[in-house]
Amino acid sequence: MNSVRDWAAPNPVTENRQGIIGKPVDRYEGPLKVTGSAPYAYEVQPPSPPAYGVMIPAAIPRGRVSRVDVTAAEAAPGVKLAWTHLNAPAQQDPPPDAPFLAPVARPALRSDRVMHFGQPVALVVADTLENAQAAAHLVEIAYETEPAEVDFAAAAPHATNPPGEPDVRMGDFETAFEAAPVRLDETWDTPIQIHCQMEPHATLAWWEDGKCVVHTSAQMVRLTQTGLANTLGIDRDDVLLRSRYVGGGFGGKGPFYEDLVLAALASRELGQPVKIAFSRQHMFHGTCHRPATSQRVRLAAGPDGRLTGMSMITVTHTDREGKFWERASNFSRSLYAAPNRLTGHRLVRLDLPMAGAMRAPGEASGMLSLECAMDELAERLGLDPLELRLRNEPDVDPETGKPFSIRQLTRCMREGAQMFGWDRRSPKPGQVRDGRWLVGMGMASAIRGNMLLPAKATFSLDVSGVVTVRQGMTDIGTGSYTVLAQIAAETVGVPLEDVRVEIGDSEFAPTPGSGGQFGAATAGSAAFAAGMNLRKAIGELGTGDPGSPLHGADPEQVTILGGVVAVGNRSERLAALIARAAPEGLTVEGEINPPSDMRDWSQHTYGAHFVEVAVDPVTGETRVRRMLGVFAAGRILNRKTARSQLTGGMIWGVSHALHDGAAVDPRYGSFVNPDLAQYMVPVQADIGELEAIMLDEADDKANPMGIKGVGELGIAGSGSAVANAIYNACGARIRDYPITPEKVMAAMMAQGL
């Protein structure tokens, strides 16, 4: 298939004759997880008893290790080795210009330099975890501290354009803004946010016949395998990497960290398996986070509410050597029509841990400003916020001029408003009471880009008619196992129970892994291709086998449904055909390579959020009473897993609005709330009625199956809807997230409410 135009033809998935696609199938690996039989990386049983490593984090934000003494630690019970920069094994250095998430070397303990608080500066390995922890406390480390810059607010005024990323201009924004009768110019701030995955970053490593075997918690198998091989200076095929079950990723397990490198090195040194895991507190400082932002939004409109100008400039930060920054302005380039536009980013480098991707990077932060700005503009115009958005719906991509592959944003908004009862919203804040509570409604749009990347898959069919799918894909809790099984069953034409899925192994056909909302579409498209190749092979086998009732028929006319191969009124069981004609089974490969004309369309997923909140005017407490999200995200593979992803994102959006945020101690560059006791996230009592509606959609420009992704769409815009509802409830317009009770009270008091 060399063009997206080839994807419009009917196929087994789009016809869905067995009814498996879209069905709310229970999770393939669910029984293993609920019974504790699905081992995460740290729980895998190695071939011999393992040793346990504990990493020691730096206690300063910037400087160098001036003295280190491991003598006492080495003499402690059970200790097998103690490493610092002085005696750690040699490793390869990365190229200086490598982009974020490039599969390059990431050496551990490489020098005496300390780049941020929490950077691992020593490792102790012992026979038990307890002995390793005790010995780690005996390592003596002294530092020479250098001046560090850790205050984002103080550094933001000095930000400059990121390397190679100029502002994007269309028309003359400044002139349009000055001439507009209605204008808005405000700034929103979002804090550093932490992934807090349920499963910590962890690795188990051992060596077999000169090859390094690692079980690690990673989102991207091939990237991590290649990066580790480059760090160790060995061939990629000499690293056998497995990541079969991942307890949450959210972008934070896209990069790999010192646990992987040090476990591999220590295992090679000791000649036995080694386990290393980040502690919960060390995860906050030793792995990546979503960086803080300051977003200036300027909107210009005529009396009719049509935008004449739009500008969004985001200031964010990264670490000293970082290649990532939060592209929080990007989404705005495709959301609303405006002839005069200015968008871009500014960047400062701080002495903080790595900045990195976090669920819906860009949209999750950026929509917290623009979608609130649209509400503020609507109020100044005397328009309903929904109506303002509808009036600024573009016919083509506002920036590129490309046609949309499919865009149902207005349908999401209209149908969501009707289902939610938006017409009952009072436009004036503070007018609706329920006992002591002030009640308000808010809404926001949602948008998230769609991507398709190269991938491969292998399908094997055995004599019992069972299809085994093998891919270097991962399941980070999103349902990869399940949807791959559904695609295989429907494509090949076998019952779902006759499909086996094996993923998370570097020895399997490569995929880019999970992340960016591209996982299901990318890995799934490769699986679809493999399934189609297997169907063809089965058809040729049956029609070419003299012993088959299909013999002599046209292979193109063969159908396979429910494990039965047929042409017209002639049929036989698939298992019988294979047992007779191919007792060794059949194995095929499939791949997806996005054609160049995919770039001819603007491709996104869309949604609309509606929220009702109650605010206590005495305490400032906010309660989310009900949330509705209506989404258009291509053909839905599994309504149960898709709904779980969407509602999970919506809840995370509530967290962004009301809870999420890491506070930096200016003395040490450390986070003062580095655990789940102090880093606030929603609990069950914080979330009321919750529903996600998925519109019927098939985007034939996206891939052969017309599917997209939903993993990040639910979080985009939902926090803005909460903020808008708070304003409607009590009149408190807060542009500094999270919206805590004290901020609500201060805003209400400032307005005499």
Length of the chain: 753
Total domains present in the chain: 2
- Domain assignment present for residue 567? The answer is yes
Q: Name residue, tokens 């000293």.
A: 320
Pairing state between β 670-671 and 664-665 = antiparallel
Q: Are residues 534 and 668 in the same domain?
A: no
- Domain assignment present for residue 219? The answer is no
Q: List pLDDT tens digits, range 412-430.
A: 999 999 999 999 999 999 9
* Mean predicted confidence (pLDDT) in 650-679: 97
Instruction: Tell me phi and psi for residue 131, to 5 degrees.
Output: -65, -35
* Domain with 703 in it: 396-451+599-750
Sheet holding 140-145, edge to edge: 113-114, 63-69, 140-145
Q: Are residues 571 and 442 in the same domain?
A: no
Q: Predicted confidence band at 648 (pLDDT cuts at 50, 70, 90)? A: very high
Instruction: Tell me phi and psi for residue 110, to 5 degrees.
Output: -85, -20
Q: Are residues 531 and 633 in the same domain?
A: no
Q: Is the pTM of this model over 0.95?
A: yes
- Domain assignment present for residue 588? The answer is yes
**pLDDT confidence of residue 673:** 97
E strand map for 106-257: 113-114, 120-126, 140-145, 168-170, 182-190, 202-208, 211-216, 239-242
The two tokens of residue 44 are 């895998």
Q: Are residues 468 and 544 in the same domain?
A: yes
Q: Look up the CATH number of the domain holding residue 633.
A: 3.30.365.10
Q: Are residues 464 and 543 in the same domain?
A: yes
Closest CA to 695 of 397, 416, 442: 416
Q: Predicted confidence band at 1 (pLDDT cuts at 50, 70, 90)? A: low
Residue 492, pLDDT above cutoff 70 = yes
Q: Is the peptide bond before 738 cis (omega within 30 degrees of 0)?
A: yes
Q: Are residues 547 and 616 in the same domain?
A: no
The two tokens of residue 177 are 């803004």
What percentage of the chain has pLDDT greater than the value 70? 100
Q: List pLDDT tens digits, range 693-733.
A: 999 999 999 999 999 999 999 999 999 999 999 999 999 99
Q: Are residues 541 and 616 in the same domain?
A: no
Are 527 and 488 in contact, with CB atoms under 8 Å apart?
yes
Q: What angle in degrees, to the nearest 10, is found between the helix axes of 639-658 and 363-381?
A: 70
Which residues are CB-neighbours of 9 under 8 A, at least 6 positions away? none
Are 117 and 60 in contact, with CB atoms under 8 Å apart?
yes
The dihedral over CA atoms of 365, 369, 372, 374, expressed in degrees to the nearest 10, equals: -120
The rounded distance, in Å, linking the Cα atoms of 646 and 710 is 6
Which residues are CB-neighbours of 742 under 8 A, at least 6 positions away? 620
Number of other CB atoms surrounding residue 32 within 10 Å:
15
Chain mean pLDDT for the chain: 97
Q: CA 304 from chain center: how many Å?
A: 38
Q: List pLDDT tens digits, range 222-276.
A: 999 999 999 999 999 999 999 999 999 999 999 999 999 999 999 999 999 999 9
Annotation marks residue 712 as catalytic? yes
- Domain assignment present for residue 310? The answer is no
At 67, the amino acid letter reads: R
Q: CA 407 from chain center: how many Å?
A: 22
Q: Are residues 411 and 498 in the same domain?
A: no
**pLDDT confidence of residue 222:** 98
E strand map for 91-238: 113-114, 120-126, 140-145, 168-170, 182-190, 202-208, 211-216
Q: Are residues 585 and 531 in the same domain?
A: yes
- Domain assignment present for residue 400? The answer is yes
* Mean predicted confidence (pLDDT) in 615-627: 97
Which residues are CB-neighbours of 166 under 8 A, at least 6 positions away? 344
- Domain assignment present for residue 177? The answer is no
**pLDDT confidence of residue 329:** 98
Report the chain's terminal Cα–Cα distance, integer Å.
62
Are 484 and 590 in contact, with CB atoms under 8 Å apart?
no
Element (H, E) at 652: helix 639-658
Q: Are residues 603 and 519 in the same domain?
A: no
Closest CA to 560 of 579, 525, 534: 534
Q: Which of 593, 625, 641 is the last residue of a domain?
A: 593
* Mean predicted confidence (pLDDT) in 292-301: 98
Residue 346, pLDDT above cutoff 90 = yes
- Domain assignment present for residue 78? The answer is no
- Domain assignment present for residue 647? The answer is yes
Q: Which of 593, 614, 634 is the last residue of a domain?
A: 593
Residue 645, pLDDT above cutoff 70 = yes
Q: Are residues 724 and 606 in the same domain?
A: yes
* Mean predicted confidence (pLDDT) in 32-57: 97
Q: List pLDDT tens digits, range 199-229.
A: 999 999 999 999 999 999 999 999 999 999 9
* Mean predicted confidence (pLDDT) in 362-389: 98
Q: Which of 536, 561, 593 is the last residue of a domain?
A: 593
Q: Are residues 447 and 471 in the same domain?
A: no
> DSSP states of 604-624 as a string?
EEEEEEEEEEEE-TTT--EEE
**pLDDT confidence of residue 2:** 76
Are 201 and 354 in contact, with CB atoms under 8 Å apart?
no
The two tokens of residue 590 are 């499939």
The rounded distance, in Å, linking the Cα atoms of 112 and 85 is 6
Number of other CB atoms surrounding residue 507 within 10 Å:
13
Buried b (16+ CB within 10 A) or exposed e, 311-345: bbbbbbbbbeebbbbbbbbbbbbbbbbbebbbbbb
Number of other CB atoms surrounding residue 5 within 10 Å:
13
Residue 753, pLDDT above cutoff 80 = no
Catalytic pick from 149, 363, 612, 712?
A: 712
Residue 372, pLDDT above cutoff 70 = yes
